Amino acid sequence: MKKLAIGIDIGGTNASFGFVSTEGKVLNKKSYPIKNFKTAKSFVDFTSKEIANSVSNLNSSYEISGIGIGAPNGNFYTGAIEFAPNLEWNGFIPLASMFHESTGYKSFLTNDANAAAIGEMVYGDAKDLKNFVMITLGTGVGSGFVANGELILGYDGFAGELGHTIFDPNGRQCNCGRCGCVETYASATGIVRTAKEFLTKFNEKSLLHNADLDKLSSKDIYNAALQKDKIALKVFDYTGYVLGFSLANAIAITSPEAIFLFGGLANAGDLIFRPTKKYMEKYLLNIFKNKVELRKSGLPENDAAIIGAAALVWDH
Pairing of strands 258-262, 293-296: parallel
Q: How far is the CB of 124 from a copy of itself (least distance, A)?
A: 17
Q: For a copy of itself, which stretch binds (CB under 8 A), given 8-16, 102-110, 156-164, 222-230?
A: 156-164
Task: Determine whether 266 is exposed, middle or buried from the number of CB atoms within 10 Å of its CB (0-12, 13-18, 19+).
Answer: buried
The residues facing 31 across adjacent strands are 16
At 79, the amino acid letter reads G
Residue 286, judged by CB atoms within 10 A of its CB (0-12, 13-18, 19+), counts as exposed
Q: Which is nearer to a copy of itself, 64 or 118 (CB)?
A: 118
Which CB atom, from 75 or from 102, has the smaller least distance to a copy of itself?
A: 75
Q: Does 252 bind a copy of itself (CB under 8 A)?
A: yes
**With CB under 8 A as the contact rule, which of the stretches 16-24, 28-36, 41-49, 165-173 interacts with a copy of itself?**
165-173
CA neighbor of 98 nearest in space, from 28, 24, 47: 47
Residue of the chain from 33, 59, 169, 170 that contacts a copy of itself (CB under 8 A): 169
CB nearer a copy of itself, residue 33 or residue 177: 177
CB atoms within 10 A of CB 116: 30
Measure the CA–CA gap between 302 and 199, rounded to whole angstroms.
33
- Taking CB under 8 A as the binding criterion, the range among 119-127, 222-230, 232-240, 253-261 that sits at the site for a copy of itself is 253-261
213-227 in b/e form (b: 16+ CB < 10 A) is: eeebebebbbebbee
Size of the site for a copy of itself (CB under 8 A): 43
Under rule CB under 8 A, residue 316 binds a copy of itself: no
Of the ranges 52-60, 96-104, 281-289, 295-303, which one interacts with a copy of itself (CB under 8 A)? 281-289
Q: State yes or no: residue 253 binds a copy of itself (CB under 8 A).
A: yes
Pairing of β 141-147 and β 2-10: unpaired
Least separation in angstroms between CB 210 and a copy of itself: 34
Q: Give the chain's count of helices (H) and strands (E).
A: 8, 13
- For a copy of itself, the closer of residues 73 and 189 by Cβ is 73
Contacts to a copy of itself by CB under 8 A: 82, 130-131, 143, 145, 147-148, 150, 152-162, 164-166, 169, 176-178, 245, 248-250, 252-257, 283, 285-288, 291-292
